[in-house]
């Protein structure tokens, strides 16, 4: 009899633990989903991302060794490796920001982070670190709309619309933009004597998105 009671107590404890677990799981689920009339519909989804298509185009005598790509679930752009050989050379990275969630978005004071660069020796080059840093400091990196207008807090992205349970299509608002990395034409070769004739690689560091709910 005593053993039966112990078995019943064990079974009861397992059932209680299972019920608590199911309650917690259901609570977490209903924070993301709206369940009505036996149908599951999308609740609030925040997802402003770079489109996965990013292109890099060199101008003048510039060249692109490694194209830019998206990373961190398309929240950043990075990875571009290029060579800028003469004053007036530049590379443009074209991208699109899109709203894939069903919450309208707007920009902030800094909507997309200012690009930063790192300069390193390429094949056969032996430029000192100080000269590489000086060269990098004289390059100009900017991020703007595709037409050259600056990103700002007035930028808005309409919410995407949901067409099936648990998904939001990537058809909300979008903004085309570009990152320009330039060896200014105002710089003469004498301004960076140590770089002349050297194969220096310019790398684009992570560029981040800063949007908020509208």
- pLDDT, tens digit, for every residue of 37-59? 455 555 788 889 999 999 999 99
Quick one: pLDDT at residue 172? Answer: 81
- Asked if residue 147 has pLDDT above 80, the reply is yes
Do 176 and 87 meet the contact criterion of CB atoms below 8 Å apart? no
What's the pTM value of the predicted model, to 2 decimals? 0.74
Quick one: pLDDT at residue 207? Answer: 94
Domain ranges of the chain: 2-31, 48-213
Q: Which of 104-113, 147-156, 184-193 is predicted with the least confidence, judged by mean pLDDT?
A: 184-193
Q: Which of 40-44, 74-78, 158-162, 171-175 is predicted with the least confidence, judged by mean pLDDT?
A: 40-44
Helix residue ranges, H only, the chain? 2-30, 129-138
Q: What pLDDT digit, counting tens, does each position of 110-121 carry?
A: 888 989 999 998
DSSP structural state of residue 7 = H
Quick one: pLDDT at residue 29? Answer: 38
Quick one: pLDDT at residue 4? Answer: 54
Cα end-to-end span (Å), the chain = 66
Quick one: pLDDT at residue 169? Answer: 59
**Given the structure tokens 């800028």, which residue do they identify?**
84
Q: Distance (Å, rounded) from C-alpha 6 to C-alpha 37?
A: 42
Average pLDDT over residues 89-104: 93
Average pLDDT over residues 133-152: 92
Quick one: pLDDT at residue 189? Answer: 60
β-pairing, 207-213 vs 76-78, is antiparallel
């Amino acid at each position: 009899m005593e053993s039966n009671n112990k078995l019943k107590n064990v079974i009861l404890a397992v059932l209680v633990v299972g019920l608590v677990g199911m309650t917690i799981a259901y609570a977490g689920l209903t924070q993301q989903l709206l369940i009505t009339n036996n149908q599951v519909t999308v609740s609030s989804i925040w997802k402003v991302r770079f489109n996965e298509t990013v292109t890099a185009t060199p101008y003048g005598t510039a060249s692109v060794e490694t194209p830019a790509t998206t990373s961190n679930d398309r929240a950043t752009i990075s990875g571009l490796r290029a060579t800028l050989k003469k004053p007036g050379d530049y590379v443009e990275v074209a991208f699109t920001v899109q709203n894939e969630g069903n919450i309208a978005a707007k920009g902030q004071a800094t909507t997309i982070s200012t690009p930063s660069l790192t300069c390193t020796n390429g094949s056969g080059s032996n430029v000192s670190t100080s000269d590489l840093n000086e060269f990098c400091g004289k390059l100009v990196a900017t991020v703007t709309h595709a037409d050259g207008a600056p990103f700002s807090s007035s930028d808005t992205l309409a919410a995407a619309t949901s067409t099936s349970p648990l998904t939001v299509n990537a058809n909300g608002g979008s903004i085309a933009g570009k990152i320009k990395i330039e060896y200014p034409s105002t710089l003469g070769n004498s301004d960076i004597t140590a770089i002349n004739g050297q194969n220096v690689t310019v790398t684009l560091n992570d560029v981040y998105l800063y949007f908020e709910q509208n």
